[in-house]
Amino acid sequence: MLLEVKNLTTEFKLKRGIVKAVDDISFTIDKGEILAIVGESGSGKSVTSLSIMGLLQKPGKVTGGQIFYKSQDLSTLSKKELQKLRGNQISMIFQEPMTSLNPVWRIKDQIMESIMLHMKLSKKDALARTIEILETVGIPSAAQRANDYPHQMSGGMRQRVMTAMALACNPELLIADEPTTALDVTIQAQILELLYRMREKFHMAVMLITHDLGVVSEAADRVIVMYCGKIMEEADVRTLFNNPMHPYTIGLLKSIPQIDNDSDERLYMIKGMVPNPLNMPKGCPFSDRCEQSMERCTQEMPQLQDIDGHKVRCFLHDAKEGGSAKQ
């Protein structure tokens, strides 16, 4: 087990109240595994990744739970020890390639910074490594492009640079926060392909955060579906796609446009909106949008059930009820 997240709770203290962006979630990532975390914006998936990285900004704060990396509780580490881990063993790709690179630094300097910081290489060696890693992520004539500034590159190129930066120190865990969202479809595929290749090559684990189930089906080994800071369902990718259990997951799956589906049906949309984080429903947060919502759903929070390794948070699958709703 590379990473274990136990009962993580992250809160944002705002003037008008406390928002629980991540509410008591637990999961693990194994070495070399690709775990996808799926959810709409505001579901807490990015906050989860920032909590792991220790990059939460005020007023956000981890208020409960633990995060173990290689069985070590990250909260016990000093700032310095954390910095040693970040960018080195755990690294991260952000979703905005246009703004996530420092505009006034050359590409090479940005990548070399982390290499020199963590790998203690000389300047010359660091540069060689930089060019090598840029080539690996598929930047043509890397030696020259390394001298470019970010604004001289396209979005896809920048995301490759981001990826190169994240991979520079051979991390064991890569957190990729919506790495493809801001990109063209063709570029998207290339970046995903790249991630996949890198996983194979360096045998690193990837935590892939996305709202796009299409991406998940292509890349992930295992999937967690989050909604309003809670895990709604967790399963390996095949199980989840073939046998989704939570109505929310079902809804998400239905809303994927399918190329082979040539019916004239309009694309499915989950009705309603994500509830205001300051004013959460008492029961299941999805209850007001759920087509199968019951009286109980609005009153009580369902527990996450483990059904043969397939976890789900829904009264429809409550072991005590014994029922299991099929599509």
Partner 1 sequence: MEPKYSSNPDENLQAAEYVEKPESQLKAMWETLRQNKAAVAGLFIIGILAIIALTVWLSELMGKQILPYDPNYADMTKSFIKPNAQHWFGTDQLGRDMFSRILDGTKISLFVGVTAVAISLTIGVIFGAIAGYRGGKTDTVIMRLMDMMLAIPSILLAIAFMAALGKGLDKAIIAIGLVSIPEYARIVRGSILSVKENDYVHAAKIMGNKTSRIIYKHILPNVISVIVVRATLGVSTAVLDTAALGFLGLGVQPPFAEWGDMLGRARGFIFSAPYTLIFPGIAITITVLAFNLLGDGLRDALDPKSRIK
Partner 2 sequence: MLRYIIKRLLMLIPVLLGVSIIVFLIMRVFSPDPAPIVLGQHATQQAVAAWRQVNGLNDPIYLQYYHYLTGALTGNLGTSYYTKLPVVKEIMSRFPATIELAIVAIILASFFGIVIGVISAVKKNSIFDNAGMFIALIGVSMPIFWLGILLIILFSGALHWLPSNGRINPLLEPAHITGFFLIDSLMAGNMDAFFDALRHLILPASALAMYSMAIITRMTRSSMLDTLQQDFIRTARAKGVPEGKVVRKHALRNGLIPIVTVIGLQLGSLLGGAVLTETVFSWPGIGAYTVECILKSDFPVVQGVVLLVATIYVLMNLIVDLIYAFLDPRIKYSKKEV
Q: Which residues bind partner 2 (CB under 8 A)?
A: 53, 55, 79-80, 82-88, 91-92, 94, 96, 99-105, 113-114, 117-118, 149, 151, 162, 165-166
Residue 138: what are its φ and ψ, rounded to 5°? 85, 35
Q: What's the min distance (Å) between Cβ of 118 and partner 2?
A: 6
Q: What's the min distance (Å) between Cβ of 178 and partner 1?
A: 16
Residue 80 interacting entry, from partner 2, partner 1, none, C-beta within 5 to 8 Å by type: partner 2
Here the tokens at position 58 are: 């005020």
What order of strands is seen across the sheet that includes strand 3-14? 17-29, 3-14, 60-69, 72-73
What is the contact surface with partner 1 in residues (CB under 8 A)?
12, 14-15, 57-59
Residue 91 interacting entry, from partner 1, partner 2, none, C-beta within 5 to 8 Å by type: partner 2
d(CA 18, CA 2): 31
d(CA 179, CA 187): 11
Residue 14 interacting entry, from partner 2, partner 1, none, C-beta within 5 to 8 Å by type: partner 1
Q: What's the min distance (Å) between Cβ of 304 and partner 2?
A: 29
Residue 235: what are its φ and ψ, rounded to 5°? -165, 165
d(CA 137, CA 159): 10
Residue 59 interacting entry, from partner 2, partner 1, none, C-beta within 5 to 8 Å by type: partner 1
For residues 87 and 247, which CB has a smaller minimum distance to partner 2 in the complex? 87
For 325, other C-beta atoms within 10 Å of its C-beta total 14
For residues 47 and 126, which CB has a smaller minimum distance to partner 1 in the complex? 47
Q: What's the min distance (Å) between Cβ of 256 and partner 1?
A: 28
- What is the torsion angle, in degrees rounded to the nearest 10, for the CA atoms of residue 98, residue 52, residue 276 and residue 234? 110
- Return the residue matching tokens 């990548």: 111
- Return the residue matching tokens 């073939």: 242
For residues 101 and 312, which CB has a smaller minimum distance to partner 2 in the complex? 101
Q: What's the min distance (Å) between Cβ of 18 and partner 1?
A: 13
Residue 101 interacting entry, from partner 1, partner 2, none, C-beta within 5 to 8 Å by type: partner 2
| DSSP letter (8 states) at residue 211 | S
For residues 16 and 326, which CB has a smaller minimum distance to partner 1 in the complex? 16
74 exposed, middle or buried (CB, 10 Å; 0-12, 13-18, 19+)? Answer: buried
200 three-state secondary structure: helix
Residue 235 interacting entry, from partner 2, partner 1, none, C-beta within 5 to 8 Å by type: none
The interaxial angle of helices 185-202 and 155-167, nearest 10 deg, is: 10
Residue 103 interacting entry, from partner 1, partner 2, none, C-beta within 5 to 8 Å by type: partner 2
The interaxial angle of helices 107-119 and 123-136, nearest 10 deg, is: 120
For residues 58 and 266, which CB has a smaller minimum distance to partner 1 in the complex? 58
Q: What's the min distance (Å) between Cβ of 135 and partner 2?
A: 20
313 three-state secondary structure: strand
For residues 14 and 267, which CB has a smaller minimum distance to partner 1 in the complex? 14
